[in-house]
Structure 1
């Protein structure tokens, strides 16, 4: 999975406030996270890929990672405790699967701007446009300095 940032700006101070938790009405994710899913699916449709379904376990893994990066002032696919994105996906309860990937970004202020940044990066775009993936989890957390930290976790199952 790509490890580069779309916005190589300095990280904000280490404290963070989480975004609003998802509503309990059976939907997955916040409004901005769901907008990322919608925009990602629009890009996939241009390449003939089926839409991704927002999976609650993948969303939990993605949001947990975005929140951790925002709170602890780091930017990496590897958590500070050494866990990989697949470790985090499994810890969130996601089982099975035959392929996984992760995109991360920080600093883009909107869903549209982060999806565009990923589409402008070959490695990130390859994850988005990989038609074998059918599930996604999106997490967005806002750091104390106001920067949004974004994570997309993809899976095929």
Structure 2
């Protein structure tokens, strides 16, 4: 089964979120606006039209009207936790191949990812739209000052290894994980719906010095910065 994915990158310079094309199931398995009886998918919707197809879909800000939403009511994955140390190591191994600065977890990004993964699980969607706003808005609400943010989302697997593998095979998701400016990450999964948030801080003094970063920590040595 193909894992449904979306990715987005937001920067201060861009001023708005751009949602690129998504990885979707083949047209043989989808019907416009509703799922076929043998398929857990519907075709990709917009946040504005989702209210006609997704039960109890909330009213979102007008800025999110054109965000893509993939309804996935029969997601077979059920995970609510994952190996955080391994997730960090997997991403940092990718970054090391390009000579990039290793990432660390940040509490605000963990909170943002947790909020969004729970939203996805509540409505059974893979999306960047959220009643709390897009990733940049969620981080701003948490008091985190950012210069650039990015987000990968997905569903359909309980394994951090498999979701990272799926993101790696998608150019947009891989570009987010390999963005040279990001320094912090947050990841969460709720009922098999994943959110992976990244940020570059506005205040560069908050960046953890490279020599102090443990790129592949053990579970016992894993740190979440604040």
TM-score range relative to shorter protein:
0.7 to 0.9
In proportion to residue count, which structure has more helix? 1
3-state SS in 2 of match to 1:98: strand
TM-score computed with the length of structure 1 as normaliser: 0.77
Question: Does structure 1 residue 75 correspond to structure 2 residue 130?
Answer: no
Greater relative contact order structure (CA < 8 Å, 6+ sep) = 1
Question: Does structure 1 residue 151 correspond to structure 2 residue 202?
Answer: no
Deviation string 1:59-108 (CA, Å, 9 cap, x unpaired) is 100011001110122221111x37212111222332x2211111101112
Alignment RMSD (CA, Å): 2.4
The alignment of Structure 1 onto Structure 2 pairs a total of residues equal to 138
Which consecutive residues of structure 1, in runs of 5 or more, have no partner in the other structure? 20-29, 143-147
**Correspondence for 1:58:** 109
Seen in structure 2, the aligned counterparts of structure 1 residues 60 and 7 have a Cα distance that, compared at 3 Å, is farther
4+ residue runs over 4 A deviation: 2-9
Looking at structure 1, the residues matched to 153 and 196 of structure 2 have their Cα atoms a distance apart, in angstroms, of: 6
Rg comparison, structure with higher value? 2
Deviation at 1:38, TM superposition (A): 1.7
Deviation at 1:33, TM superposition (A): 3.5
Q: Is the 8 A contact 1:44 1:128 kept in 2?
A: yes
Looking at structure 2, the residues matched to 114 and 82 of structure 1 have their Cα atoms a distance apart, in angstroms, of: 24
